[in-house]
Structure 1
């Protein structure tokens, strides 16, 4: 179309790629979180179904028995009461629940990472109820019991019914992934190591005190971690808006990506 000077004006259009770059800058849900989470959860469910076929002697029973012979303590030795095993004992009980369901979410709200707080609550409450308590009541595998003729013993601490999954182990799996999710990517590597040690230590402690069979603890960690990976995937876009905020002091400036989103 010619303008007033007789020259032809180029048609107006948006710059090439405009909108594409904006869309690509938006945070995406990492597919790997969903894939790994679903695979782990499928393994957890498959094991639960297998145990249901014979709760008194599932296919892992021979190995579980051998592990109890190797690791399980007899009462009166005091080996269950020193600092390290007691750390794992209380981590899965009321003090650990206060830390993960109250203190950590409250602190995340204080430092204005409310999205991270909601994620943490969803992971801890949802994972504990669905992966631990629901499955424990559905499967109801007997815990290790006294076998005095073989020199084997049952739980050295007070426990409820149902050995699979280990609630302590599920909590360790949830904690492993939930803390990683709220950390910036550059700071996760050290937590993966520390969190893995917590998970392994929890498996050791639950079998040391004869509270669970080895398979209950291992698959419990897998179930808790896998469910939390899926919840992380669901919250990924919200969590990305919190990564610019500090974890240990109150933020006074909103992250750039939050300002752009608003």
Structure 2
């Protein structure tokens, strides 16, 4: 005979599973490992050689609809415009009095973005591919666009869905992240390894912060009216 646990003890839809911290740490470690390989492989560039071959395979033609779509995707997900969606989401959550979900969104998509991406850009200082087809600034590693895409995909799955809904959202988010990676490489704004490292960093930071803030998110979930869960 099973004993039903009280509501406050049951895992809620926003409760992070135990593997979230492990997967998140592994993703961040993989991003740092790529940075280490790039830094240590200056004379015998395995990763750099792979990047050159793959980027060269996307040398054109660039006068196509896909280039237009790529430019729109890159403009919308990076730089100041890329902060609009996370800030709007955080603002919406505040209006709904979901304080901890709003904090989680802000920490993952804004604060962690600065603390993860900018130091790595400064440390690696990798030049971007020659002749990019879009406006670029700063170093190429890691891709801030890919970080933002992966981070917001994980965050939306956490704060907006649960169970099977979260899995469906994350599958969609993974596809969107791949699109962002592809468009960045197509426009020669990032090397492939830079984009992959950025996505790993974004997903890793989002999963780790989900696990850290899980008790607060769970408390928020228990305190919400049943018709708003």
The normalised TM-score by structure 1 is 0.75
Q: Which residue of 2 aligns with 1:107?
A: 92
Q: Deviations over 1:101-129 (max 9, x none)?
A: x2110000111211100100010123211
By how many angstroms is 1:88 displaced? 3.6
By how many angstroms is 1:202 displaced? 0.6
Larger helix percent: 2
By how many angstroms is 1:80 displaced? 5.8
Where do residues 138-177 of structure 1 align in structure 2 (5 Å cutoff)? Answer: 138-145=123-130, 154-177=131-154
In the alignment, does 2:9 pair up with 1:25?
A: yes
Note closer, same or farther for the CA distance 1:222–1:205 as it changes in structure 2 (3 Å cut). Answer: same
Output the CA distance in 2 between the equivalents of 1:119 and 1:127: 10
Which is greater in Rg? 1
By how many angstroms is 1:78 displaced? 4.8
Q: Which residue of 2 aligns with 1:64?
A: 51
Contact 1:184-1:243 within 8 A present in 2 as well: no
Where do residues 71-82 of structure 1 align in structure 2 (5 Å cutoff)? Answer: 71-73=58-60, 77-79=63-65, 81-82=67-68
Aligned Cα RMSD in Å? 2.8
Output the CA distance in 2 between the equivalents of 1:63 and 1:237: 43
Output the CA distance in 2 between the equivalents of 1:219 and 1:97: 20
Gaps of 5+ in 2: none
Contact 1:73-1:80 within 8 A present in 2 as well: no
Higher relative CO (Cα under 8 Å, sequence separation at least 6) belongs to 2
By how many angstroms is 1:26 displaced? 5.7
Q: Deviations over 1:127-169 (max 9, x none)?
A: 2112211101111111112xxxxxxxx2111211211101101
SS of the residue corresponding to residue 140 of structure 2 reads coil
Q: Which residue of 2 aligns with 1:46?
A: 33
By how many angstroms is 1:229 displaced? 0.5
Contact 2:124-2:141 within 8 A present in 1 as well: yes
Output the CA distance in 2 between the equivalents of 1:23 and 1:83: 47
Q: Which residue of 1 aligns with 2:110?
A: 125
Q: Deviations over 1:169-189 (max 9, x none)?
A: 111111121111113323212
Structure 1 residue corresponding to 2:21, chosen from 34, 37, 41: 34
Structure 2 residue corresponding to 1:206, chosen from 184, 187, 190: 184
Output the CA distance in 1 between the equivalents of 2:184 and 2:157: 24
Structure 1 residue corresponding to 2:167, chosen from 140, 164, 189: 189
Contact 1:56-1:142 within 8 A present in 2 as well: no
In the alignment, does 2:60 pair up with 1:89?
A: no
Note closer, same or farther for the CA distance 1:203–1:57 as it changes in structure 2 (3 Å cut). Answer: farther
Gaps of 5+ in 1: 1-20, 146-153, 246-252, 257-262
Where do residues 240-255 of structure 1 align in structure 2 (5 Å cutoff)? Answer: 240-243=218-221, 254-255=225-226
Where do residues 216-255 of structure 1 align in structure 2 (5 Å cutoff)? Answer: 216-243=194-221, 254-255=225-226
